[in-house]
A and B are shown apart, each in its own frame.
Chain A
Amino acid sequence: MKRIELAPGAYLNLLPADKFNRCRVNVQLRYPADRARATALALLPFLMERCCADHPDMTDLSCHLARLYGADLAVDSTAAGSGRCLSVTVGGIAPRFALSGEDLAGEYLALALGVAFRPHFADGMFLPEEVEIEKEKLAEELAAEINDKRMYCLRQARRRFYGSHPAGIERTGYADEVKGLTAETVTEAWRWMVENAQLEVFCAGIPEELAARRVRETLAPLTRTPQPLPAPVQLPAAPLVEETERMEMVQAKLCMLFTVEDFQPSRDLDAMRVAMAVLGGSPTSRLFTNVREKQSLCYYCAASFNSFGGMMCIDSGVLPENAARAREAILHEWQTLCSQPPAEAELEDARRFVANSLAAVEDSLAAQETWYSGQLWRGDTAAPDEARRALEKVTADEVAEQMKKFRFAVCYLLTKEDTAE
Chain B
Amino acid sequence: MNDNTTALREAARCEKKVLENGLVLLVRPMPGFRDVHVMCGTRFGSVDRSFTVNGERVDLPAGVAHFLEHKMFESEQGDAFTQYAAVGASANAFTSFDKTCYLFSTTSGVDHALDILLGLVGHPYFTDETVAKEQGIIGQEIRMYDDSPEWRMMFALLQGLYHAHPARDDIAGTEESIARITPQLLYRCTDAFYAPGNLVLAAAGNITMQQVEDAVRRAGMDGGQIPDVQRHAPAEPPQPAKERQDITMSIAKPFLGVGFKEAPPAPQDRLKTELICDMLGELICGSMTPLFRRLYDGGLASADFGGEFLSVDGALCVLFSGETRQPETVRTMLLEEIGRLRREGVDRTIFTLCKNQMYGQMVCELDSTTGLAGALCSSELKGRSLFDEMQALTALQPEDIDAALQTMLCTERSTTAVIWPEKEEAE
Contact = CB atoms under 8 A, between A and B. Distances in A.
Interface in A278-302: 282-284, 292-293, 296, 298-300
B133 A69 contact: no
Contact of B251 (A97, A147, A356, A365): A147
A35 to B, nearest CB: 25
A62 B287 contact: yes
A253 to B, nearest CB: 9
A273 to B, nearest CB: 14
Contact of B360 (A70, A136, A317): A70
A69 B364 CA distance: 10
B253 A70 contact: no
Interface stretch (B78-86, B182-190, B307-315, B396-404): B78-86
Given A66-B288, A356-B89, A356-B107, A92 B82 contact: no
Interface stretch (A115-123, A242-250, A392-400): A242-250
B140 A299 contact: yes
Interface stretch (B54-62, B142-150, B159-167, B195-203): B142-150
Contacts of B302: 137, 140
Contacts of B106: 356
A359 B108 contact: yes
Interface residues of A, number: 62
Contact of A356 (B90, B286, B367): B90
Contacts of A170: none
Interface string B186-229: 00000000000000000001000000000000000000000000
A99 B4 contact: yes
B368 A364 contact: yes
Contacts of B144: 250-251, 299-300, 317
Contact of A149 (B34, B147, B354, B369): B147
Interface stretch (B5-13, B119-127, B234-242, B377-385): B5-13
A421 B296 CA distance: 43
Interface residues of B, number: 73
B252 A143 contact: yes
A99 B359 contact: yes
Max chain A C-beta neighbours (<10 A), residue from B1, B141, B297, B353: B353
Interface stretch (A2-10, A14-22, A26-34, A224-232): A14-22
A352 B287 contact: no
Given A67-B356, A70-B360, A356-B105, 18 more contacts: A19-B30, A63-B350, A69-B357, A70-B357, A93-B364, A99-B1, A147-B251, A149-B147, A249-B147, A250-B147, A251-B147, A282-B85, A299-B143, A300-B144, A349-B85, A356-B90, A359-B108, A365-B367
19 contacts: A21-B11, A59-B288, A100-B2, A133-B297, A137-B303, A140-B252, A140-B253, A147-B149, A248-B248, A248-B422, A284-B82, A296-B140, A299-B137, A349-B82, A353-B90, A355-B88, A360-B34, A360-B35, A360-B105
